[in-house]
Amino acid sequence: MANSTSGDSVTDRLVRVLETFTPTRTVQTTAEIGRRAGLPSSSAHRIVGELVEAGLLERDDQRRVRIGMRLWELATRSSHALRLRQVALPFMERVQARVREHTQLAILEQDEALFLERLSDADSGANITRVAGRLPLHASSSGLVLLSYADRDLQERVLSAPLQRLTDATLVAPTDVRRKLSEIRLVGYAVAPGYIETVSTGVAVPVREGSGVVIAALSVVLPRGTAPESALPELRHAAAGIENALVRHR
């Protein structure tokens, strides 16, 4: 339904407003939202005002705007990801307690790895992952696991787009990524040394549902020099635990 002079729909504009918020940009002025969403100032003020009224956005005491708890509540409550996260959490806690490094759970979402949970110690090392944040599929251990078990169309789509180089170690040639994906399918886990940040190595294993389809990746982020073998048995054990619990809680 096109009902603005620019021809975009109400829904388009709402989505554009909401998408100006990111894991690292959580508070903005209405003027910034309007500029980032490509909206005229009057539309930005009206839409933001309506969303604040509905509780989907909130204002702080300086009238800056952030995502409202009502939106979090609605989105979290009805999400299928919530069940997976809840089932996985005790197993993730065990990995985190034993390996004592960042432990995270990701799913495939719109050609990226979307992180549902991350557990860290106060003294865990570097980690750029955020809960509800995304990482590129070709450049993270979780992403590579999800990509290696994804359907051919998705793999081809991702490999035919330019692959961003994030560090000297990131695989950016499609042939190198393809080789890595077959290796992951062969050994059943992914190691990504320095692919996304030079100081860390990601190690990820697949999590399957009853039918055998891979639905998530469970990973740890280790300091770069640490041997992945130190975390693999715990990761595998936890993935198997999550898989059994998913079957039981169906």
Structure tokens at 145: 């696991």
Stretch that binds ligand PHB, among 167-175, 177-185, 189-197, 234-242 (CB under 6 A): 189-197
The H-assigned helical ranges of the chain are 10-19, 30-37, 41-53, 69-77, 80-99, 141-148, 152-160, 174-187, 232-248
Size of the site for ligand PHB (CB under 6 A): 16
Question: What is the distance between the alpha carbons of residues 190 and 96, in angstroms, rounded to a whole number?
Answer: 18
Rounded Cα distance, 169 and 67, in Å: 36
Indicate whether 196 belongs to the interface with ligand PHB (CB under 6 A): yes
What minimum distance in Å lies between the beta carbon of 40 and ligand PHB?
38
Q: Which is nearer to ligand PHB, 13 or 134 (CB)?
A: 134
**Which distant-in-sequence residues (6+ apart) come within 8 Å of 132 by Cβ?**
23, 114, 115, 116
Instruction: By CB under 6 A, tell whether 101 contacts ligand PHB.
Output: no
Closer CB to ligand PHB, 20 or 124, in the complex: 124
- In the complex, the smallest distance separating the C-beta of residue 219 from ligand PHB, rounded to whole angstroms, is 5
Q: Which stretch binds ligand PHB (CB under 6 A): 5-13, 54-62, 198-206, 241-249?
A: 198-206
Q: Judging by beta carbons within 10 Å of its beta carbon (0-12, 13-18, 19+), is residue 151 exposed, middle or buried?
A: exposed
Interactions with ligand PHB, residue window 110-129 (CB under 6 A): 126-129
By CB under 6 A, name the one of 30, 155, 170, 200 that touches ligand PHB.
200
Instruction: Please state the length of the chain.
Output: 250
Compute and round to an integer the Cα radius of gyration of the chain.
Answer: 20
Residue 221 as a binder of ligand PHB (CB under 6 A): the answer is yes
- Name the residue nearer to ligand PHB (CB basis): 181 or 192: 192
Q: Is residue 148 at the binding interface for ligand PHB, with CB under 6 A as the rule?
A: no
> Of 1-9, 25-33, 51-59, 191-199, which segment contacts ligand PHB by CB under 6 A?
191-199
Q: What is the DSSP string of 63-119?
A: S-EEE-HHHHHHHHHT-HHHHHHHHHHHHHHHHHHHH-SEEEEEEEETTEEEEEEEE
Q: Which of 197, 215, 218, 232 binds ligand PHB (CB under 6 A)?
A: 197
Site residues for ligand PHB per CB under 6 A: 126-129, 140-142, 192, 195-197, 200, 202, 204, 219, 221
